[in-house]
Amino acid sequence: MEEINQELVPQEPAGKDKGKGDAYDKISIMLYNTEKLEEKHIRLSEVKDYKKLLDDEGAYQLWINLDDDYDESVVESICEIFSIHSLVKEDIIEKGQRPKVEDYEHYVFVVAKMIYYKEDRLTLEQLSFIVGNRYLITFGDEEGDVFDSVRNRLRKEGSLIRREGTDYLLYSLIDSITEGYFNVLETMGEKIDLIEEKVISSKTNEEQKEIRELKKDLLFIHKFSWPLREVTSWLAREESLVLNKSTKVFFDDLSSQLIQVIDTTDTYRELLSGLIEISLSNISYRLNEVMKVLTIISTIFMPLSFIAGVYGMNFKYMPELGSRYGYLITWIVMIVIAAFMVYYFKKKKWF
């Protein structure tokens, strides 16, 4: 990339110990100050060298990013280099964390959940951040994903993000994540509209499974957006050595955006509950319609069949049978009964 002016840490020849499992490809760094930017993949062993640069006069800031499939030993090494608490290390490795923020005096540890649709399925990814004085370590992004827009902004010389500290970089990344939440919610909104149309005209209860799926997804979004909001409002509120006062207003903005996320999930859940109600009511209503048809048919033909049955009896002395107009009169009677029944149901507005 053309913005890189010089390499601050001389790179060892690429072929040397690559393949030794030194996780060469997994660690990418961006070292920058207002003037310079260095961006490359480094080996675990080089991390220490870059850390030293931070104490130099160049006012450099360092962003170390580890891909999703790092192994524990790498996390351990990095935590050692930056003297990170052992609990933090465990939280990074253990994937089932809730979003949270923890203040360890010289650095702040943040866990967040990225959320997106992948092949129409809601997918979660855990991201961990350690933000210290002039360094930010991120764990878990599959390179080229959500963080790319931030990387691009960093590459632009003179951009705000180049001038601000690593806390602003943290804000930018969480902002990216938050945008992901909005995207997911938008997709959901469209899905709900689609289902609504289907439910209203539907003859089956198949939509209920779709509704259930969406409800489950909303449960998960709610589950992770709620604590993420707590994280951002903590970052906007608390005093910490590594958070500049000027960045607080940005986290405050994030916090109010996340309230919007939570609000929207609540609204969506109510809408889905309403759809289930409609779906159930439709089933009941169609049952009613079916039963009306059955009842109308039965009520018309049962008396008629009875009459036919009567004159099918084989009694010897049935005066009507011999009558010249018996058959005709029977038909007339039957038609009158049927007509009366139809009138009755019309009046009752059954059809």
Name residues contacting a second copy, limited to 308-347 (CB under 8 A): 308-318, 320-327, 330
| Interacting residue with a second copy among 14, 59, 87, 336 (CB under 8 A) | 87
Of the candidate spans 13-21, 68-76, 170-178, 254-262, the one that interacts with a second copy by CB under 8 A turns out to be 254-262
Least gap, CB of 351 to a second copy (angstroms):
11
302 near a second copy (CB under 8 A): yes
Per CB under 8 A, contacts with a second copy among 202-231 are 203-205, 208-209, 212, 215-216, 219-220, 223, 227
CB within 8 A of 167, min separation 6: which ones? 131, 242, 243, 244, 247
Indicate the residue among 72 and 270 with the shorter CB distance to a second copy.
270
* Alpha-helix runs per DSSP H in the chain: 44-54, 72-81, 86-93, 148-155, 160-163, 166-201, 207-237, 245-310, 319-322, 326-347
Q: Using CB under 8 A, count the residues that bind a second copy.
A: 84
Least gap, CB of 73 to a second copy (angstroms):
19
294 near a second copy (CB under 8 A): yes
Of the candidate spans 57-65, 123-131, 161-169, 301-309, the one that interacts with a second copy by CB under 8 A turns out to be 301-309
Per CB under 8 A, contacts with a second copy among 44-83 are none
Of the candidate spans 14-22, 25-33, 42-50, 280-288, the one that interacts with a second copy by CB under 8 A turns out to be 280-288
Residue 30 neighbours by CB distance under 10 Å:
20
262 near a second copy (CB under 8 A): no
Going from the C-alpha of 73 to that of each of 140, 278, 295, the distances in angstroms are 15, 54, 75
Least gap, CB of 80 to a second copy (angstroms):
16
Of the candidate spans 69-77, 112-120, 125-133, 256-264, the one that interacts with a second copy by CB under 8 A turns out to be 256-264
Best CA proximity match to 226, nearest among 260, 251, 262: 262
Contact call for residues 41 and 25 (beta carbons, < 8 A): yes
Contact call for residues 340 and 334 (beta carbons, < 8 A): no
Q: Distance (Å, rounded) from C-alpha 201 to C-alpha 339?
A: 33
Q: Distance (Å, rounded) from C-alpha 124 to C-alpha 113?
A: 6
Best CA proximity match to 145, nearest among 179, 97, 186: 179
102 near a second copy (CB under 8 A): yes
